[in-house]
Structure 1
Amino acid sequence: MTGDFELSDGETFRAALDRAATKAKGNCFEDFADGDELEHDPGLTLTRHASETWAGQTLNHDPAYWRPDAARDRGFDSVPAHPDYVTAAVMGPTVEDLSEKGGYFLGRTNLRFHADAVDLGTTLQVRSEVLDTATSSSRPNYGIVTWRTEGVDADTGDRLLSYERTNMIPRRNPPAADGGEHESVDEPPETDDRDLGLPGTFVEPDGGHFEDFAAALATTEDTHGGDAAVAYRHERGRTMDAVTVSQLPLMTLNTAKQHHDANVMADSPSGDLVAYGDVTRSTALGNARSDEATWREVGFDDERFHTFVTPGDTVYCFTHVRDARDEDADERYGTVEFEHVAFNQDDDPVYSGTRTARIQRRSTTNAGN
């Protein structure tokens, strides 16, 4: 007998739903093996609307990514795609193949931009390689997988961006049924007895140019004898709403249920939808960049996501300046290494990472005006 039941009847439908199999999306931990290569499909064509929407909603208001005159002043031929949008657009198409099943986004490192700018209208091709798989003794229902992902120009084959990221991935076979063929790793134990190790003084730079960061770092030695750090918090915050939690991920082909299925997430550890990690990160970086004269992004390392960000949470940013170098020998900019920490309204860290950027010299900005 086929078709002889009334699915519009609630009781009938619920009974049918209980009996029906679910066509699963995504891969489990056992589906990954070291050295596997995956070609992700489809890739996005980067658009001005999406770039400006991403940048605007995450408070990244650098005029070089909005106005042709500002872009030319910064050495771009035309207004390029915002680097945070490019980062998210490279990661988005990987979600269905790599992390659709859920699990914690543990971190990302060695993120590098291989081109000074990515033109709007560029079509991306994205591929990944499995670098490592390991089981977790503290969370036996999950495994840990690390991938290397790169986004290339689909027309030219030129590499545009690459990074390595690590996720916890649900296991199809629980530990009792698993052969134990993967090396096990333990997460570091938590402790309440940490030595905070904070310096006696936090120094704030006088401005956002390379000279300001270099001078502030020199002050930590000359004035405070090394018992100081250049560190400060940014005033702006951004409260997560429907646009940032759900719309922005969809603009980058990120289909993970964590951002879109409130019913499923009600029974999850977060109890609600969670913001895409790259939205949280980009929002924090937008707050930081509003207090600096960025010339170019170079790369990111040691990125970590520490807890959930859900609708209604507000994301702020704290910055620690680690180094300022003249290594480029360029009169337009110097290189600055930052450590950024995004935190919520309860002052709990939600993201951290190191960032290397070329920061304009004050003379360059004045000349451009």
Structure 2
Amino acid sequence: MTDWTDPDTFAQALERAETREKGNCFEDFAEGDVLEHDPGLTLSRWGNEEWMSQTLNHDPAYWRGDAARERGFDEPPIHPDYLTAATLGITVEDLSEKGGYFLGRTDVRFPGTPVSPGTELRVESEVVSTSASSSRPEYGIVTWRTRGTDAETGETLCAYERTNMIPRREPVATDGSGATATEEDGDGPDLPEELLVPEGGYFEDFVAALEDAADRDAAVAYRHERGRTQDDVTVASLPLATLNTAKQHHNADVMAEAPSGDIVTYGDVTRSTALGHARSDERTWREVGFDDEQFHTFVTPGDTVYAFTRVLEAEDDASRSDRAGTVRFEHIAFNQDDDPVYSGTRTAEIRKRPN
């Protein structure tokens, strides 16, 4: 009788065995295709608090009943960062489990009403476009529009558009032009003479800082003190808790041969950590949306994620809320070597100073 566990026998069996693959290649996507992602996910209070605690998002309205009611919620709701990560995580098996570079995400939007723990999330994606990669013949580029809905009511809870490189089954010839950035002529970056810091975290503080910057060669831009070093929880546990099965986050054996040389942090963990740092220095009332999100380089175990913020504009629209004004930020996450790892613009309602 053959002993399949004999090392030589098993090595031969592995060499001859066909792998039952997971995920889809570039050729499997066609513009207009709609994919319904299964399984769904129940957005639990435990999952919400685990995500928030590990990414340092400590807004009390998402933790305590009294603070939630003061904000107008019946109970602490699901945080938009966890909602976004869960919506994307469910899609990974169908869209990007094969690997490839996350090129960006934009038009991230949420409902005006809070999302309650216990909500069953259902997710579908439509293929917006497919194209060749001029720099990497082994990849193609796919853009999807993804929508997460309340399974009971059909209400849209989270929607966004994202773009990935996706491996091809067979490489194709390219013109080799690539997409690498070129250095511009000149002596260096044209930064303002001064970088100003708001005096506080209320809406009025951001308005005052922007008005001060407008009167001179200045920008409202600052770094946040906190950092979060990536560990087993942030790199492996958090993505798996959102059903993100991408091998990049939990298969060190495969990733040892990848450009990163190791497993990497889920982009939404990096993003949420940076936003947690930023929110600790502001009085956030409600998240409105995100645009132009990009991930610039790998974040691996042991790397530390820091954050830098630039305030772009502030608008007081009394018709939306008499307790908050709208502020648009650019957030940049960077590592211990000061290399940018994530960037994106964020729109949020920021609380006004109490009278």
Shorter-normalised TM range: over 0.9
Q: Runs of at least 4 residues of structure 1 off by over 4 A?
A: 183-186, 192-195
Counterpart residue number, 1:209 = 202
Counterpart residue number, 2:182 = 190
Q: Which range is displaced more, 109-118 or 122-131?
A: 109-118
Name the CA distance, whole Å, in 1 between partners of 2:34 and 2:176. 23
Q: Normalized against structure 2, the TM-score is what?
A: 0.96
Name the CA distance, whole Å, in 1 between partners of 2:259 and 2:219. 36
Summarize deviations over 1:130-183 as a string: whole Å, max 9, x none.
Answer: 00111011111110100000000001101111000000000112105xxx9xx9
Letter in 1 for 2:179: E
Aligned: 1:80 with 2:80:
no
SS at match of 2:90: helix
Summarize deviations over 1:306-334 as a string: whole Å, max 9, x none.
Answer: 00000000000000000010124432000
Maintained 8 Å contact 1:35/1:131:
yes
Q: What displacement does 1:121 show?
A: 0.3
Counterpart residue number, 2:343 = 352
Counterpart residue number, 1:325 = 315
Name the CA distance, whole Å, in 2 between partners of 1:117 and 1:56. 19
SS at match of 2:39: coil
Counterpart residue number, 1:343 = 334
Q: Which range is displaced more, 193-202 or 25-34?
A: 193-202
SS at match of 2:264: coil
Counterpart residue number, 1:70 = 67
Matches within 5 A, 1:136-155: 136-155=133-152
Matches within 5 A, 1:76-115: 76-115=73-112
Maintained 8 Å contact 1:332/1:360:
yes
- Which ranges in structure 2 are unaligned for 5 or more consecutive residues? none
Aligned: 1:221 with 2:214:
yes
Counterpart residue number, 1:290 = 280
Question: Compared with structure 1, are the counterparts of its residues 192 and 274 closer, same or farther at alpha carbon in structure 2 (3 Å cutoff)?
Answer: farther
Summarize deviations over 1:3-30 as a string: whole Å, max 9, x none.
Answer: x422222222122112211111100001
Q: Percent identity?
A: 67
Matches within 5 A, 1:1-369: 4-176=1-173, 187-191=179-183, 193=185, 195-222=188-215, 224=216, 227-329=217-319, 330-363=321-354
Question: Compared with structure 1, are the counterparts of its residues 184 and 47 closer, same or farther at alpha carbon in structure 2 (3 Å cutoff)?
Answer: farther
Question: Compared with structure 1, are the counterparts of its residues 10 and 115 closer, same or farther at alpha carbon in structure 2 (3 Å cutoff)?
Answer: farther
Question: Compared with structure 1, are the counterparts of its residues 145 and 205 closer, same or farther at alpha carbon in structure 2 (3 Å cutoff)?
Answer: same
- Which ranges in structure 1 are unaligned for 5 or more consecutive residues? none
Q: What displacement does 1:192 show?
A: 6.2
Q: How much is the aligned-residue C-alpha RMSD, in angstroms?
A: 1.6
Q: Normalized against structure 1, the TM-score is what?
A: 0.93
Name the CA distance, whole Å, in 2 between partners of 1:276 and 1:136. 23
Maintained 8 Å contact 1:273/1:311:
yes
Q: What displacement does 1:305 show?
A: 0.2
